[in-house]
Structure formats: C-alpha cells, structure tokens
Chain A
Amino acid sequence: MISKQGILQLIHEDWGQRSQSRICADILDYLINSRSPNSLYLTYGSLRRIIKIACEDSELLTAVQYLCGDKIHLLEVKFELIENDKHIEITDHEIIHARTTGQLIHPESGESIDNFEERVCMYFQPSSLVQGILQ
C-alpha cells in the first residue's frame, strides 16, 4: 500500500517543477476519485481532457509514459484494433509475436496483417495498484 502523498512525492522528485509533475498529479487524482477505475478506458485524448493545465502534447506523452513505467505504474498500456467502431483487444503476447514476425494475426479472422503498426492503437487502463492507494 502506498499513499497518494507518497506517490506525489516520487513524481515531484523525478519531475520537479516541470509540467509533467502537474499532469501526473491530475491523472492520479482522476484515477483515485473514479468510482470504478477498472472499467476506465483512457486514450491520450481522454487523458488530455482530464488534466487541468495547458501543456504540450510532448509533455502529456512523456508524463503518461512515466505513469506506465515501473516506478509509479498507475497505468497499463493496452492495444486494440479499431474496425468500423468495433474495438478488438490485442494481447501483449500477440503484439510481442507481431513485433518479432512482422505480422499480426487478427484475433477474430485469423488473417495476417502486415502493416499492423498502422492499425493497432494504444489505450490505457488503471493498474491494479490504483485501488490500493490510500488517500
């Protein structure tokens, strides 16, 4: 178990006065105040709407990367194919295989996708740590 204050301190140690400190803090707030964090579906776009300061996309992206990392690990990176508004989840194992072979096997049709990097989107979900954070 870690406290919200403890996480904020770690964030501040790493980012100091940079915008990423505030971005991470706003995302942390949003996650721990969410009624059902497990069902959250977050994109870079939705995370941008959560944060309360104006920032560059580069600051948002690096802050999100940090929150997905091992030190804080509030967010999990997820992958999906979006086809005609249908979201098809791609597992880490399937992505690892695709990056090794250069081809993604479509989880439903079994069809091989060569240009998978142009079609696979990223999104984020709260990690299991979020529910254990003491406010």
Chain B
Amino acid sequence: MSNLENMTLSMLKELEPKIPSLSGFISRNLVRTYSEFVEVLYRDIDRIIYKIQENPELRQNDSEDRLTIDIINLLCMMGYNASHDTKVRGHADILVVKNDFMWIGEAKIHSSYPYLWKGFQQLSTRYSVADSNQKDGGIIIYIRQANAREVMDKWRKHLLKKNLSNYSCTTCEIRKLCFFTSHEHVSSGEPFRIRHMPVILHFKPQDHGSTPSGGAASAYEQTE
C-alpha cells in the first residue's frame, strides 16, 4: 500500500482500481458550481450503476425502494449527503444536497411507458422547481427485460409525443444508454434538465440450466 504519510494526488489515483469508491474523491471536494456538482454526481451514479449491474441475478426480486436505497447508501459512503423519501414538496426517491445545491431523482422499475411518465411528472411537477440551485434532476430506470437500448429509445419517443414546452433531447456522451431532456419547468419557467439513466437488471443466461431463480427474469420478458 502507498505511503500514508505523504499521500500525493497520483498515489491516490493509483489506488482507485483497488478501491473504486475513492475515484473522484478530489473532484467531489473541489466542486464549486452547480454544473460541476451535477457532472461529478453523474459520474459517481454511473459508477454505482455499473457496480449494481455486476450482480443482476441477486436483484430480481428487489423492490424499487430496495434498489434505490442501495444507490443512496453507496452515494452516502462516497460522502454525499443523499437521502431517501425526504420531504421536498412531496417525498422524493433520491435527494442529494450540497450546500444550497440540490439534485432530485425519481426511480422506477420499468413496467410500462405510462408508468415512467408518471415518474417524469412527479419529478417535474411535484418535487422540483428548476430554480438556479436545482436546475437538474434524474430518472433512474431499472430494466429487467432484455434490450435496455430499445427501452430507452422507446421512452425517448414517448417523451417526444408529450409536447413539453421548449423540449429538447440529447444523448449523453459519457454513457450512451443515457439521454438528457430539457423542458420549460411549469413552476419557474426555467429550463429543467433531466438525465434518464437505465440500470440493466436483465438476467436470462442462455447456457443450459444456469438460471438460478427460474422465472424471475423471464417474467419481465413480456413487458413490452
């Protein structure tokens, strides 16, 4: 292990592959603006999602809350002030606070696009106001059926049909399965940017006899 007495920035970086949750430690501490806060947060949420996706077979029966609380707990361990069900004009699934900055997330297990739309509306019209301290929010979509790309593309098309004011949509450059939408927030009249983030929980190995829990994954194959 490195010299703990005089730990340089490069030594800390070298430890990141062994201790992945240390990744971004310095960046998190040097955040000064809202956009930096959100950028660093998204990088960390992606890391957590990648970690969760490593064991989908263990997640087949997890509820929306169970999955979301695990994400929040991992954010807290990284040092985030993150909480579940905190009262912000309602009970938001995920609230991350840094000084005055706020990021609100809504999480849904994908079962239908109207259900995701319900989450979008909760986030956009109940919990947020899109003021300068909370210009961004996120929707985390747990996907147990096959082809997350197709789900995200269909969700994108579904949103387009909603005729939201000043609506735009862009693909995320960091994680291609994610996309950003922006629309005029009804309460503030300001743009509200939402990152739509899938969590791939599909698990249906094709090698003979290796599906551990039998029907759990296949039940979600019928969703579309």
Contact = CB atoms under 8 A, between A and B. Distances in A.
* Chain B interface helix/strand/loop/mixed: mixed
Nearest to B97: A70
A61 B10 CA distance: 15
Contacts of B99: 70
Interface string B15-45: 1001101100110111010000000000000
Given A92-B30, A118-B10, A65 B73 contact: no
Q: Classify chain B: how many residues form its interface, as a range.
A: 20 to 34
A69 B73 contact: no
Nearest to B32: A96
A65 B4 CA distance: 14
A58 interface: yes
A77 to B, nearest CB: 5
B10 A62 contact: no
Closest 9 CB pairs of A and B: A69-B79, A45-B5, A44-B4, A70-B81, A45-B4, A117-B9, A117-B10, A71-B81, A57-B1
Given A66-B77, A79-B9, 8 more contacts: A20-B77, A44-B7, A57-B1, A66-B79, A71-B82, A77-B25, A117-B8, A117-B9
Residue among A43, A44, A57, A70 with most chain B CB within 10 A: A70
Interface of B: 1-10, 12-13, 15, 18-19, 21-22, 25-26, 28-30, 32, 73, 76-82, 97-99
30 contacts: A14-B73, A43-B5, A43-B6, A43-B7, A44-B5, A44-B7, A48-B4, A57-B4, A58-B19, A61-B22, A62-B22, A65-B22, A65-B78, A66-B78, A67-B79, A68-B29, A69-B81, A70-B98, A70-B99, A71-B76, A71-B81, A79-B9, A82-B6, A95-B26, A117-B9, A117-B13, A118-B8, A119-B8, A122-B9, A122-B12
Contacts of B19: 58, 61-62
B154 to A, nearest CB: 36
Given A58-B19, A122-B12, A71 B80 contact: yes
Interface residues of A, number: 34
* Chain A interface helix/strand/loop/mixed: helix
Nearest to B99: A70
B8 A69 contact: no
